[in-house]
């Protein structure tokens, strides 16, 4: 702690600090050994150092809010593993959204890369009502106790976790599994 600078000490010591030119113990020792020395008044007063004024405040860098691709009119959020969706995968997604009675204007898209390093609070701030998560995503949303192809409701948001869109587009069984879950999620009686 002796080797720390004032800048480093500000995080440990929160009270006001006083700086003395001379150490009071040394003055007292001189007076005790030499009684003929007159008691002198201190020539200078202790200096008060305000750490707030000594150190310019650091600006907190707040990350920009998540930017969702799409109009996101109905609060349906699609999170996908792929950085870019291939045309055939995008076509499957469009058909799937249309089949549940919605359009691409009503949903928002976010890739895993766009979510990387973001908090769950930032995701909640989007105020999505339905979140469809496809594939592996580097985000705390994975901590939700939702099983793949099962609907999980938390507060006022419904979650559906499934395999990656590119995997589903190549597998007929997974398409059927997803469709059956989407019918329940969107109340479709077909």
CA 49 to CA 17: how far, in whole Å? 6
- Cα angle: 135, vertex 93, 111; to 5 degrees: 45
Alpha-carbon Rg for the chain, nearest whole angstrom, is: 31
Tell me the mean pLDDT in the region 136-161: 88
Residue 158's pLDDT band, with cuts at 50, 70 and 90, is very high
Residue 18 DSSP symbol: E
* Residue 188 pLDDT > 60: yes
Residue 16 DSSP symbol: -
What percent of the chain shows pLDDT beyond 90?
41
* pLDDT at residue 142, rounded to an integer: 79
Contacts of 128 (CB under 8 A, 6+ apart): 72, 75, 76, 77, 108, 157
The pLDDT tens digits for 69-115 are 888 989 999 999 998 899 999 999 999 999 999 998 899 999 989 88
- Cα angle: 41, vertex 17, 49; to 5 degrees: 85
Inter-residue contact 174 to 163 (CB < 8 Å): yes
Tell me the mean pLDDT in the region 53-79: 77
Question: pTM score, two decimals?
Answer: 0.65
* Residue 162 pLDDT > 90: yes
Pairing of strands 17-19, 47-49: antiparallel
- Rounded to the nearest 10 degrees, the angle between the axes of helix 172-185 and helix 87-99 is 30
Contacts of 157 (CB under 8 A, 6+ apart): 128, 129, 130, 131
Domains of the chain in start order, with CATH, are 6-54 (no CATH), 76-185 (3.40.470.10)
* pLDDT at residue 98, rounded to an integer: 94
Residue 168's pLDDT band, with cuts at 50, 70 and 90, is very high
CA 67 to CA 114: how far, in whole Å? 8
* Residue 24 pLDDT > 80: no
CA 91 to CA 104: how far, in whole Å? 11
Is 66 exposed, middle or buried, given 0-12, 13-18 or 19+ CB atoms closer than 10 A? middle
* Residue 150 pLDDT > 70: yes
Tell me the mean pLDDT in the region 58-64: 65
Tell me the mean pLDDT in the region 46-66: 63
CA 81 to CA 164: how far, in whole Å? 6
The pLDDT tens digits for 119-134 are 888 989 999 999 999 9
């Amino acid at each position: 702690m002796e080797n720390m600078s004032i800048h480093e000490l500000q995080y440990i010591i929160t009270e006001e600090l006083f700086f003395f030119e001379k150490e009071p113990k040394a003055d007292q020792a001189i007076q005790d050994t030499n009684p003929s020395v007159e008691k002198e008044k201190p020539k200078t007063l202790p200096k008060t150092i305000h750490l707030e004024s000594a150190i310019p405040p650091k600006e907190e860098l707040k990350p920009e809010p998540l930017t969702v691709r799409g109009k996101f009119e109905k609060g349906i959020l699609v999170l996908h593993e792929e950085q870019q969706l291939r045309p055939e995968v995008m076509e499957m997604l469009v058909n799937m959204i249309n089949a549940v009675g919605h359009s691409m204007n009503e949903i928002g898209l976010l890739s895993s890369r766009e979510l990387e390093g973001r908090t769950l609070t930032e995701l909640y701030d989007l105020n999505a009502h339905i979140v469809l998560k496809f594939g592996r995503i580097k985000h705390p949303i994975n901590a939700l106790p939702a099983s793949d192809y099962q609907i999980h409701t938390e507060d006022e948001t419904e979650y559906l976790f499934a395999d990656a869109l590119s995997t589903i587009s190549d597998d007929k069984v997974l398409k059927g599994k997803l469709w059956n879950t989407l019918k329940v999620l969107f109340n479709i009686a077909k």
